[in-house]
Amino acid sequence: MSCKTSSNSIVDIEKQKPYNKVPYLVARNVLKQDELEHVAGYNRHKDTPLETIQENFKKFQPKSVIFDLFPALKWIPEYPVQKNLVSDLVSGFTVAIMHIPQGMGYGLLAGVDPIVGLYMAFFPTLIYFLFGTSRHISMGTFAVISIMTSKIVATYSDPNYGNTNLNSTLDEAADNLPQYQYTPFQVATAVSMVCGFYQIIMCVLRLGILSSLLSEALVNGFTTAAAVHVFTSQLKDILGLKLPRHKGAFKVLLSLRDIFSNLPSANMYAIYISIICISFMFLMNEFVKPWVAKKCKFPIPTELMVVISFTFVSYMLNLGGSEYKVREVGKIPTGLPMPQMPPIELIKLVAVDSIAVCIVSYSVVMSMALIFAKKEYYEVRPNQELLALGLSNIFGSFFSCIPLSCSLSRSVIQYQAGGKTQLTSVFSASIILTVLLWLGPLFETLPRATLASIIIVALKGMFMQIKDLKRFLKEGILESAEWIGTFLTVIIIDIDVGLLAGVIISILALYIKGLKSYSSMLGQVPDTDIYVNLNTHKNAIQLPNIKIFRYSGSINFATCSSFKKALFDNIGVNHRLIRRASLCETQSEARGFNTDMHTLIIDLGSVAHIDMSGYRTFLEIRSEMKLIDVKVYLANASDCVYDSLTRATDLGHPSLECFSSVHDAVLFALKKLEN
């Protein structure tokens, strides 16, 4: 049903007056929706579950399934050695240099030994190399995941239980913390294993799409607030204080209270170290690195320079001795850890707490992966990423690893350094292995203030996200409510509660947006079969005796009332009068209603879904409009909406007249009027 826009138009339009005759003739019969479906050969047949399984079994190809399960088997044989090898080597070396200080710092941040951060850069990243689909993200430790893990570790572990390396380095436990007989290592690995199981279950259930529930505003506000948690947790090391740990609500506020009350006992040498480290890294990152980046791709390893320098200074001056009393990293074991499974009873304890860690780690990975995939024009498969993360976490849990995620800063550096494929992580892991086997003890005298300084400087990008609030305020009140609500809840209460609050706000925003509808009255563009909004198109003509109503949105149990109200408001009918007449089942109550309308056409072209409540609403409207001698027709239904209409009649509901287009309904109404 095309309009007459050229001499090749398939519609023969003949202008006629007056309007009580058929205004435009078409070179076919007027079609109702069921007639159109018959002519077009529409097939409503849907396979049964058994038929679907049989069809999928016929299409089953073992080779394709193996390649889908192990993406590395597909691209490794096609790897362009001459083109990518040098770039991946340089990028892998660069990322490994960043892994050493960041891994140690984030390991300490998670409440376990610093060496765990290096384990994270080796064991789970090799599994992700085999199963992951992103070519550019740097897997390993991430500040937000570390701080979330530390909360669970603080809740369920006793730092004085067992022979762990943390006995001399962990802060004193708060009096209100319950004492469980588990080491921090056991709790952290249990969280990693549970997260892995959750992610594999999500993969099997094809729930990769759930990451879309975490909107940009939510993730932005959450990570910005989480950066405040990380910053607060590092202040004690910056100031050289030894403070009790807090858990639960108001943790940030309680920690700040303790810090300010203990400022007089701060270690001035730790403060000097922090000031020097932060100043040096700031100057390098803001001025020197950008200048060097214009000259070569290889970035200056600022963090590693700081780590090596202060490890040497601390060793030479014995900063950890009785004279300076600067807290050091402490004993770092050499070699690889023996595989050990977390206690089964502990897995049950952390099951609920690990849900938030699982969702956040996956969302961060998918967000970064999609950014690079869009830049480099390749595909990232959400469900495969769930499988890769799940297997990596389960494997890593046997080797003292915390939950896996990707670092924003390392991923950007890996991309800027020229990394092309996942082989970058293999080269990086090889260098980390060297550190684990031989070089780890060299960093035992490293001041914890240095690692805290590295973490705080790395948080700059996350803190700068607060600028995005201005953009969300411009986008709308719902987006800004998501950001502000998530941000404040995370800071004031806690990270997991804030994430839950953000998800709830996000779902409510989606619900409100889904309920928000748009309605208008349509008029005809002269000499065409096109119908447009009368309010926004000044040349559109209102057809005499016919009113055409368009509704955009779903018509279901939640929107029936608003749809009906919008309809009667737009056509100018007193619904109360009509409703009273329908209840009395007589037209006498409606005699006072004066209208020249004889036909109401409801355009369903912008309606995405109709349920049985919506269908019954159409029947009510038809019955009520019949009392004032107005015919009601539906038009322009999509296939899914037409299926819903047909399904309703199959269930015994009265049928409704539905036409293939608004113009067909208009022509039919005019012809009925003539007769």
Confidence check: pLDDT of 254 > 70: yes
Summarize the confidence of residues 628-653 as an average pLDDT. 87
pTM, to two decimals: 0.72
Helix (H) or strand (E) run with residue 532 in it = strand 531-533
Residue 521 three-state SS: strand
User: What does the pLDDT read at residue 68?
Assistant: 81
Q: Tell me, yes or no, whether 446 and 593 share the same domain.
A: no
Confidence check: pLDDT of 675 > 70: no
Confidence check: pLDDT of 14 > 50: no
Q: Tell me, yes or no, whether 298 and 415 share the same domain.
A: yes
State the pLDDT confidence band at 227, using cuts at 50, 70 and 90. Answer: confident
User: What does the pLDDT read at residue 595?
Assistant: 67
Print the domain residue range for 154. Answer: 84-217+230-247+263-462
Q: Tell me, yes or no, whether 344 and 414 share the same domain.
A: yes
Task: Work out how many domains the chain is built from and give that number.
Answer: 2
Evaluate whether residue 479 is within a structural domain. Answer: no
Please give the residue that has the higher pLDDT: either 534 or 211.
534
Decide if 10 contacts 27 (C-beta within 8 A).
yes
State the pLDDT confidence band at 48, using cuts at 50, 70 and 90. Answer: low
Evaluate whether residue 301 is within a structural domain. Answer: yes
Evaluate whether residue 108 is within a structural domain. Answer: yes
Evaluate whether residue 474 is within a structural domain. Answer: no
Decide if 161 contacts 139 (C-beta within 8 A).
no
Q: Percent of the chain at pLDDT above 90?
A: 25
User: What does the pLDDT read at residue 103?
Assistant: 86
Which range has the top average pLDDT, 304-308, 416-420, 662-666?
662-666
Q: Tell me, yes or no, whether 404 and 457 share the same domain.
A: yes
User: What does the pLDDT read at residue 410?
Assistant: 82
State the pLDDT confidence band at 151, using cuts at 50, 70 and 90. Answer: confident
In the listed set 436, 462, 488, which residue is the last one of a domain according to the structure?
A: 462
Summarize the confidence of residues 14-25 as an average pLDDT. 46
User: What does the pLDDT read at residue 599?
Assistant: 92
Q: What's the burial of 244, exposed, middle or buried (CB within 10 Å: 0-12/13-18/19+)?
A: middle
In the listed set 420, 446, 462, which residue is the last one of a domain according to the structure?
A: 462
Q: Tell me, yes or no, whether 452 and 523 share the same domain.
A: no
Beta partners for residue 602, in sequence order: 549, 634
Query: Per mean pLDDT, which range of 46-60, 242-256, 479-493, 566-580 is the poorest?
Result: 46-60
Confidence check: pLDDT of 143 > 70: yes
Q: Tell me, yes or no, whether 308 and 357 share the same domain.
A: yes
Summarize the confidence of residues 533-561 as an average pLDDT. 88
Summarize the confidence of residues 607-614 as an average pLDDT. 88
Summarize the confidence of residues 325-333 as an average pLDDT. 85
User: What does the pLDDT read at residue 173?
Assistant: 47
Q: Percent of the chain at pLDDT above 70?
A: 85
Q: Tell me, yes or no, whether 455 and 522 share the same domain.
A: no
Summarize the confidence of residues 64-91 as an average pLDDT. 84
- CATH number of the CATH domain containing 585: 3.30.750.24
Residue 586 three-state SS: coil
344: number of Cβ within 10 Å: 8
Q: Tell me, yes or no, whether 163 and 112 share the same domain.
A: yes
CA angle 537, 541, 547 (to 5 degrees): 105
> Cα–Cα distances in Å, from 416 out to 296, 377, 409, 429, 431?
11, 16, 11, 19, 19
Evaluate whether residue 482 is within a structural domain. Answer: no
Evaluate whether residue 341 is within a structural domain. Answer: yes
- Exposed e or buried b for every residue in 138-148, given b needs 16+ CB within 10 A? bbbbbbbbbbb
> Cα–Cα distances in Å, from 509 out to 214, 550, 562, 598, 643?
12, 24, 18, 40, 29
User: What does the pLDDT read at residue 608?
Assistant: 85
Confidence check: pLDDT of 303 > 70: yes
In the listed set 446, 462, 478, which residue is the last one of a domain according to the structure?
A: 462
Confidence check: pLDDT of 9 > 50: no
Please give the residue that has the higher pLDDT: either 47 or 410.
410
CA distance 279 to 287: 12
User: What does the pLDDT read at residue 230?
Assistant: 84
Evaluate whether residue 14 is within a structural domain. Answer: no
Please give the residue that has the higher pLDDT: either 48 or 655.
655
State the pLDDT confidence band at 461, using cuts at 50, 70 and 90. Answer: confident
Residue 247 three-state SS: coil
77: number of Cβ within 10 Å: 7
Name the residue with tokens 């499974």.
341
List pLDDT tens digits, range 436-459: 888 888 888 989 899 888 888 888
Which residues lie below 8 Å from residue 153, measured CB to CB, with a gap of 6+?
A: 110, 111, 112, 184, 187, 188, 191
Q: Tell me, yes or no, whether 573 and 670 share the same domain.
A: yes
Summarize the confidence of residues 206-219 as an average pLDDT. 77
Query: Per mean pLDDT, which range of 49-53, 353-357, 507-511 is the poorest?
Result: 49-53
Evaluate whether residue 37 is within a structural domain. Answer: yes
Q: Tell me, yes or no, whether 37 and 110 share the same domain.
A: no
CA distance 288 to 300: 9
Summarize the confidence of residues 567-586 as an average pLDDT. 71
> Cα–Cα distances in Å, from 504 out to 34, 352, 486?
42, 17, 10
State the pLDDT confidence band at 5, using cuts at 50, 70 and 90. Answer: very low
Confidence check: pLDDT of 7 > 50: no
User: What does the pLDDT read at residue 16?
Assistant: 39
Please give the residue that has the higher pLDDT: either 488 or 377.
488
State the pLDDT confidence band at 15, using cuts at 50, 70 and 90. Answer: very low
State the pLDDT confidence band at 375, using cuts at 50, 70 and 90. Answer: confident
User: What does the pLDDT read at residue 394?
Assistant: 96
Confidence check: pLDDT of 635 > 90: yes
Query: Per mean pLDDT, which range of 82-96, 251-265, 608-622 is the poorest?
Result: 82-96
Q: Tell me, yes or no, whether 317 and 396 share the same domain.
A: yes
Decide if 591 contacts 548 (C-beta within 8 A).
no
Q: Tell me, yes or no, whether 283 and 393 share the same domain.
A: yes
